[in-house]
Chain A
Amino acid sequence: MELKTKVNAEAGKHDLVITREFDLPVELLFKAHSEPEIIEQWMGTKVLKFENKKHGGWQYETTDNGKVVFSANGVFHDFIENEKITRTFEMANAPFGVQLEFAKFEKLTDTTSKITIHSIFESGALRDELLKMPFAQGINYAHNRLQDIVARLK
C-alpha cells in the first residue's frame, strides 16, 4: 500500500519535503491552514497569534496540565489563498534554529488536492536533530487524549 503522507529527507542535505494528497477540494485544504479554529483541531495546539498576511506573525502553544510542552512561532512572507503560504518557523526552547517553510497548495481535481511543504534548515545537522526528536511522544499524547474522551463517553 502506498503511504499517503510522504517525507523526503535526503542524506547530507539541509531540507525536507512533506507531501500529501487529500480527498478534499483545494479550497478546504487551504481553509484548514488559514483558520485558527481549524488549525487548533488538527494540530492539537492553541493558536495564540495568527496574522495571515505578508509580514504577519503567528504563534502556537500547547500546554499539558498548565505546563507549556510545545511552542512555535514565526512570520508569514506570503499568504496567497488556495496557492501558497511562505513562513518562517521556530520552535521555542529547541536547538533547531529557524526554518524557512514553503507550503504549496495544488488542485488535482474538483474534489482532490495536494500539499507540498518544503522546509529549509540552516544546516543538515540541525535537520537531522529535528528528525531524531521523539515524535512518538506527541503521538502518544494525542492517543492519551483520545482515550480520555472515550473514557468520558462510557
Chain B
Amino acid sequence: MNLRRDVFQAIADPTRRAILLLVASQSLTAGAIAANFDTARPTVSKHLAILTECELLKQQQTGREVYYHLNAKKMKEVADFIEPFRQMWDDRFNKLEEIMKNYKTK
C-alpha cells in the first residue's frame, strides 16, 4: 500500500477521522482501536500506518504493547492551514461592517 504523507489525504478518510477522535481522549493499542471498528484488523493497521506516517499519530512502546496517541502539534498544523485565509476574510468583513455602520448613520 502506498503510504501518503499528505495529512489532508490522511484525514479525508472517515475511518481515519474516527480513529483520531478515538485516540484523542486516551492512548490505545492497535487491538483496542480495531475493536471499535467492524473493518478487518489489517485494514485498521493500514489506517494506523498512514496516520503514523504523516505524524498525526505517535507510537509509544510500553512493555510489550505499542500505544498510539494523538500528535496534538500536527493536528494544530492542519487547523492553522486555513487560518490565514479565514483571517483575510475576517479582516475584509470587519471593514465591511464598519463601513456600512457609518453608511447607515449618514
Q: Does B bind A?
A: yes
- Listed stretches B44-52, B69-77, B95-103; interface member: B95-103
- Listed stretches B28-36, B58-66, B80-88; interface member: B80-88
Main secondary structure of the interface of A (DSSP, over half): mixed
Contact check, A20 vs B84: say whether CB atoms are below 8 A apart: no
A:1-57 near B, CB below 8 Å: 3-7, 9, 11-12, 18, 20, 22-25, 28-29, 31-32, 38, 41-44
- A130-B85, A135-B87 provided; 18 other pairs, C-beta below 8 A? A4-B90, A7-B85, A9-B82, A11-B9, A11-B10, A18-B86, A22-B100, A24-B97, A24-B100, A24-B104, A29-B96, A32-B96, A41-B95, A41-B99, A42-B92, A135-B85, A136-B84, A139-B91
The reply on A108 being an interface residue by CB < 8 A is no
**Residue of chain B at shortest CB distance from A8:** B82
Using a CB–CB distance below 8 Å, which chain B residues touch chain A?
A: 8-13, 78, 81-82, 84-97, 99-101, 103-104
Q: How far is the CA of A67 from the CA of B86 in the complex (A)?
A: 26
Contact check, A139 vs B88: say whether CB atoms are below 8 A apart: yes
Contact of A6 among B8, B86, B94, B100 (CB under 8 A): B86
The smallest C-beta distance from A136 to any residue of chain B, in angstroms, reads 5
Contact check, A139 vs B87: say whether CB atoms are below 8 A apart: yes
The reply on A61 being an interface residue by CB < 8 A is no
Contacts of A38 in B (CB 8 A): 99-100, 103
Q: How far is the CA of A7 from the CA of B85 in the complex (A)?
A: 8
Q: How far is the CA of A44 from the CA of B99 in the complex (A)?
A: 12
Q: How far is the CA of A22 from the CA of B103 in the complex (A)?
A: 14
The reply on A154 being an interface residue by CB < 8 A is no
Contact check, A23 vs B101: say whether CB atoms are below 8 A apart: yes
Contact check, B8 vs A12: say whether CB atoms are below 8 A apart: yes
Contact check, A32 vs B85: say whether CB atoms are below 8 A apart: no
The reply on A142 being an interface residue by CB < 8 A is yes
The reply on A66 being an interface residue by CB < 8 A is no
Contact of A142 among B86, B91, B100 (CB under 8 A): B91
Between A and B, 13 residue pairs with Cβ closer than 8 Å are A3-B90, A5-B90, A9-B82, A12-B11, A18-B86, A20-B89, A22-B96, A24-B104, A29-B100, A31-B100, A42-B95, A130-B85, A134-B84
